[in-house]
Structure formats: C-alpha cells, structure tokens
Structure 1
Amino acid sequence: MSITDTTSKTLKKLFFSSQRLIFAFLYQPPNPPYARTQKCHYVDVYMKWKKDSYYDSIEHIHRSVQLKPIVSLKNCIAEDPNGCIPISQVSKRGLELGAPMKVAGFLRQYPAIFEEFTGPQYNLPWFRLTPEAIEIDREEKRVFEEHRGDLKDRLKRLILMSKGKVLPLRIIQGMQWYLGLPEDFFRLSEVNLDGSFRFVEMEDGLKGLAVQGEEKLLSVVQRNARKRGVHLGEPVEPIAFPTFPSRGLRLRRKIEDWLKEFQKLPYVSPYEDFSYLDPNSDLAEKRVVGFLHELLSLFVEHSAERKKLLCLKKYFGLPQKVHKAFERHPHLFYLSLRNKTCTAILKEAYNDKSSIEKHPLLSVRKKYIRLMKESELILKNRRLRNKFVNHENLKLDLDLEAADKERRDREQITLGK
C-alpha cells in the first residue's frame, strides 16, 4: 500500500518534532529559573471593584493633588528675601506650578496659608505666608535636613529597581512629589554631597542619574518575611504577600484558587535581574506585583495616581497593561476613584503600620492639610457674614422705601385737604 505525499509530510513533521523534544529534554539544564513557574495561567481575570469607605476617607491621600501646587507657591514666597511677593511674580506660572485656576484666585482660596495685602506701588495685590504657615515651613526644612539620608535612600532604591540601574532625570522629577524630595534636591552640590549618585548621558540623549557602586538590597516584603522567620535569603524563595481583603468583597472560587497558587510562587525581588522570566507567566506577574508593592512603600502617602505610574513601564520592564495588576490583586491594592481620578493605595501601609516605615515628611503634609481645612472654614464664615450683611442692607433698604412711601402718602393727604 503506497503512502501519499500528504501522509509522508505529516510523518516527517511528527518525526522531527519528537527529535526536538528529546533533544531539549536531554540538554535541559538542571533546575532552571523557570522550573517553578505555573504551567496554567489565570492572569486575564475580571475582578469586581468594590468601594471601601475606609481608604476613600484618608484625607492626606486625597488632598495630596491639591496640596502640591500650594507647597510650590509657598516655596516661591518663602524663598524671597522679603518673605512676600507681588502677584505679577507668579501670575504667569500657573501651569508650571500646577495651579488649577488663575494663581491669584488660587491663593485666595487658602487664607490660612496665604495672606493678601496691598503692595507699596500701583495698589497691586501682594501675598505673604501666615505665621502658622511660616512655622510649618521651618519644620519642613528641618525634616529635609535631618532626614536627608533617608530621602536619598528612597531615591537610590527607585533607581536600583530600574532595568539599567539608571533613570532619566525627567522620570525621577515626575516621582519627586511622591518620594518627598525637596524641590531643590537636584542641584549638583546637593545630589553629589556624599558621592552616592552620578549624572550620566543615556542612549536616547536624555540626562540620567545613576547610583555609585553596587549594593545588595532587600525589599520590604523580604525584610518583613525575615522578621517572621520565613525568609532564608534564597534567590528563588516562595514568599506570600500580606493580604487585606475589603469588607464585603467576594471573589469567585476559581479566582481564589488562582490567588492561592499565585502566593506559592517564588518571590522575585524588584532589585534582582528578571530578564529570564517569561513575560506571560504568573512568575512575571508576581515580580510586577512585588515592584508595585515596593514602589508604593517608598512614597509619602504610600499611594499614587495610577496614570502617573504608566510612564515607568519602559525603564522598569513593566508590561503594557501594568495597570491591570492593581485590579487583579484587590487584597493588596485599593483603587480609589475620588477627585475624578484613579488612585492606587497600598493596603498594607494602612492595616499593618509596623510593617512599612512611615515617611518622615508625612506629618508635615498633614499640618498643611489642617490649614487647608481651616481655610475652608474661614471662607465659609466670610460667605455667611456677607450674606448676613447683605440681608441687613436689604432690610434697611425696604424700611427706607416704606418710610418714603408713608411720607408721600401724608403729603398727598395734606394737599387734598
């Protein structure tokens, strides 16, 4: 019985494919890095979002967007030798400083921080800081000076998590507010104070910042696991992320099963090489989650606007849909939709405060927020007072009008007689 050409081709394909499989089996290195990667993936899952009032009510997170331009304008005034500036000095810098409206109107929204007065010439409005704001500004400068080493360590960790251990200055400056770095941190004399950093020219023509020397770093997850005695320092060691389910959040059984298997995977530190990982594997997913966990732990509020993190994909080896990692792990992160934006919050920082170190600048920002709330009360009282004055003026006008009418009526009666 003759074999047709089609059958012959099929047999040849099967023969050579089996040869490749045998060859791969014989020459496979022992215990390759991906040997413990899950064979079945369930990363493209839909997690139902559930509102959590606890995270939505954390004021220093949700007022951070408003506070940033306030601090920038405060610095403009504080740096002036006279401690006060005319509105013309900052009126055209609204976009640069992040003010959401005209600068003069924005300053007037916070009378507990900015005090307005008439200038010496041309009756222009001038602004200075209130005594309370001056005191907080002094405290802020003390924090920057006393915790300079801590702030540099946070910057160093951010750089060492990148692919080439170097980051463009524009990327670092985009994270500057979240890291709690002072606005003048990138002056040459300050950055190179102890030789920890060096400026480099990157391939794409951008100016970058690199870390001097090599250093073995442990992530927050690894340090906490070591405290609990479950981390032995092995290169590919399974470490589970601490989880904090929101009340009323129910996951489907197959999703829960996938998350349990996900927790058993080896933990890949964000400071280690990850080039060997299959980008479509759950092990790569665990590395991304570990990176986001470490990144948010470095920030002042342990949170950030999700859209602000998208610019990090290229330099940190993140997948195109990195934002999906927040949605797939609702026990680790919470996505708040307040203020018409999406803010990613690290749950562990607000449930186990001993596990993540508090940022030294947080207490200062809370004091500025207290002045923001006082400003709202001042403006409210002004509106009520103006309303009362207007009401009294209206009543007086009505009384005068009634008196005039009565007088005219008497005159008409007299003329009639």
Structure 2
Amino acid sequence: MFKAETFVSSIKNLLSHPQIQHQQWRSIVKVRLKWVKNRSLDHVIDTETDLKAACLLKDAIKRSPTGFLTAKSFADWQKLLGLTVPVLRFLRRYPTLFEEFPHPRYANLPCFRLTGTALLLDSQEQSINKAHESDTVERLSRVLMMMRSRTAPLQSLHALKWDLGLPDNFEKVLIPRYPDHFSFVKAPTGVSALRLAGWHEEFAVSALERCNEGGEMGDEY
C-alpha cells in the first residue's frame, strides 16, 4: 500500500490535469436517485441515538447538585441530544433508567432521578473507562495531533465526548493524570482549551497502516 502523502500527491496531480480542470467548470448535471430504505441500518441509527441521549441525560443527572433534574431544566435539550421527540417523553420511555417523581415544592413539576439499575450500569461504565484509559488517551491525542495548533477548545471536545469515548468530566478525572500528554491553555478567543503536550510518533500511524505493516490485509488490498 502506498503512503498517504503519495496518494494525496497523485490526487493533486490528477486534478491539475487540463482535461480535469475543464470538466470541473462544466455545469452541474441533475441526477434523480431512488430513495431506498435500509431497515437494518435505520434500526441501528435509532438505537444508537437513544443510547447516546440516555447516557448524556444520565451524566447530567449525576452532575446535578440535587441528584435529579426537573422537566423545566431540560425542556430545550431535544436538539442538543439529537432526539426526534421531546425530552420528557423520551425519559418516560425508559422507566428502568429514569424514575419520575413530583417536585418537593411544585407538585405539577415532573422530576427525574436515576434508578438503581441506572446507577449499576454507570458503575460498570466507570470500570470499563478505567480499564481502557490508555485507549482513550490515545484517541484524544490523535484528535489534537490533527489540529494545526495541536489545541482544541474544551467546549468542542465536550460536544465530541460520546464519539471519542471520553468519560464525563474528563477534564477533571482524566487529563490531570497525564501531564506528559496534555495541558490546559487559554485559546486566543479567551476560552479554555486543551493542548497536546508533546508529539507522540507512535500515534501518528493509522490503524490501516498498522494492519498493512502486519500483513493482516493480505496482498489483495
């Protein structure tokens, strides 16, 4: 397999060809495609969305000083959680995880706290995060290595927390344990950011390259 630099260079040379440049300036052709549903894929996407929203809500309830959230506090979280239904309806869909009860002072205000099952699952999640912490550090390092400044705002990383497999409050429970990998800085805009403390050459090799070097992909690739 040729290296990524060679591939990029080949694409640039191809696009610089006069014939290709001429074709790029031609008008866009309208193409009508038939929309085909994939029920298996749709099911996976729906399940993944629900799982992500449930985990984010679980973490939010854990962070709450009162140990619960009111319906008013998450009324506008629907888009943030990627849900197609109101958050209140979503929470009521999973009574095994979220226990509903009336507010101590306002009886008409629904509140939600974690059930024993949710707390048990959270404990298991923390154990898994701890067991695979080195993988998490590697993923986060790779993300920062892709940045030109090797720095990313914490707010942006929080938005990617689920996708990167970062634990909740990772800036407090994970980052301080790895000062040789990360450091907190102030971005030019004044927001808090995370910077890569040093370049790690072992992380600069992609999984695809590792498989190819190990001969796992065979000669057919």
TM-score range, shorter chain: 0.5 to 0.7
Larger gyration radius, structure 1 or structure 2:
1
Alignment partner, residue 3 of structure 2: none
Q: Which residue of 2 aligns with 1:109?
A: 93
Q: Structure 2 residue aligned with 1:95, among 70, 73, 76?
A: 76
Shift of 1:81: 7.4
3-state SS in 2 of match to 1:222: helix
Return the match for 1:211 from 188, 196, 221: 196
Which residue number corresponds to residue 207 of structure 2? 220
Q: Deviations over 1:19-66 (max 9, x none)?
A: xxxxxxxxxxxxxx899635433696999788573862452x433333
**Alpha-carbon RMSD:** 3.9
Residue of structure 2 equivalent to 1:133: 118
- Closer, same or farther: CA 182–37 of 1 in aligned 2, 3 Å: same
Q: Where do 5+ consecutive residues of structure 2 fail to align? A: 1-5
Number of corresponding residues:
197
Supply the distance in 1 between the matched residues of 2:162 and 2:139 (Cα, whole angstroms): 12
- Structure-2 separation of matches of 1:184 and 1:203: 23
Structure 1 residue 166 corresponds to structure 2 residue 148: no
Q: State the identity %.
A: 26
What letter is aligned with 1:37? S
Letter in 1 for 2:49: V
Judging changes above 3 Å, is the alpha-carbon distance between structure 1 residues 169 and 221 closer, same or farther for their aligned structure 2 residues?
same
Deviation at 1:199, TM superposition (A): 1.8
CA separation in 1, counterparts of 2:7 and 2:162? 37
Contact 1:155 1:179 in 2 (8 A): yes
Structure 2 partner of 1:40: 14
Deviations 1:347-379 (A, max 9, x none): xxxxxxxxxxxxxxxxxxxxxxxxxxxxxxxxx
Would you say the 8 A contact 1:159–1:210 is kept in 2? yes
Secondary structure in structure 2 of the residue aligned to 1:63 = helix
Q: Following the alignment from structure 1 to structure 2, what is the Cα–Cα distance between the partners of residues 170 and 149? A: 22
Question: Alpha carbons of 1:92 and 1:131: their partners in 2 closer, same or farther (altered >3 Å)?
Answer: closer
Q: Residue 158 of structure 2 aligns to a residue in which SS?
A: helix
CA contact (8 A) 1:91 1:102 kept: no
User: TM-score, normalized by length of structure 2?
Assistant: 0.68
| Aligned ranges 1:154-303 → 2 under 5 Å | 154-187=139-172, 190-195=174-179, 196-216=181-201, 217-228=204-215
